[in-house]
Amino acid sequence: MNRFEIILNKDGHSLQLLAFILLFMVSWNIERIAGIFFNHKKWKHAFLNAPFILTNVPGQLILGFAFIKVISWTGLNHFGLLYLLPSSVGLLPAFLFVFVLLDMGEYVYHIIMHKLPRFWSFHVIHHSDEVVDVTTTLREHPGENLIRLSFTLFWVFLTGCPFWMLMLRQIIQAVTTLFAHINYRLPDRADKYISFLFITPNLHQVHHHYQQPFTDCNYGDVLSIWDRIFGTFQRLPQEQLRFGVDSVMNTGVTDNFASLFKYPFKKGRGTTDTDKRNNI
């Protein structure tokens, strides 16, 4: 094990948190200077989304132990797609192999969250934000947090991903997730080239548009290639963008933390919302 792997194995969580905090601060100031939407109270919006950090801690701690057990087992038993690669394959190609597989897994997970009514009832909390900025990355219901981490755990099990690869992948994901949600637009020419491979703010803002079919497009996590391959790639001009979800807008839910937290547990929630989105 080289020094780089040792650092990620030992301090991976700290590095991920540090990368997130640093980029969050940079993104926050970019939004203040060059944001495209200013018709909101930035600090009030941040304090609405911030409590989700605390509500997600228990699930992350519980699933954290599960990740340690699964990664230890797959490593000891050489189980997973990673171990199908020739032993001569270097660390970088092996990491890229695992990274692509995990990213495809995130794409599948994201589609499932949109298509299964009960899962959508949790995911809609993230989509219900009517102002998309870096704090929207924090707006994840603890129910979805558990579902998302469980899916990631399953992909880690299938790939046989070692801890250092997972940590490096999570650091990259933290950076790109903040970048995708930033209240900023890349110049069209730059976006044309960058979005050929990666999810950009321009693409992800389309995903947060309040109406279908745009809500159900651009599912990619880090890479945009899955949307291009599977036909879920869409663009929408900035002037046509409106964030939120039409089935829950103007309900008094989207700007109150307690209401957002309780929303998925209301009787009939999930199927009814999906029907509304499909105009049934």
Q: Check whether 246 has a pLDDT greater than 60.
A: yes
36 falls in which pLDDT band (50, 70, 90)? confident
pLDDT score of 280 more than 50? no
**Distance set, CA 107 to CA 100, 110, 112 (Å):** 11, 5, 9
Least confidently predicted of 18-27, 144-153, 233-242: 18-27
CA gap 135, 140 in Å, rounded: 10
In this prediction, residue 277 has a pLDDT band, given cuts at 50, 70 and 90, of low
Residue 25: pLDDT band by 50, 70, 90 thresholds?
Answer: confident
pLDDT tens column, 60-76: 999 999 999 999 999 99
The pLDDT assigned to 12 comes to: 55
For residue 279, pLDDT beyond 50? no
* pTM confidence score: 0.89
Strand partners, 209: 243
Mean pLDDT of the chain: 89
pLDDT range class, residue 11, cuts 50, 70, 90: low
- Amino acid at site 123: H
Can you give the residue ranges of every domain in the chain? 46-277
What average pLDDT does the segment 231-253 reach?
A: 91
Q: Take residue 182 and report the two structure tokens written for it.
A: 């930033």
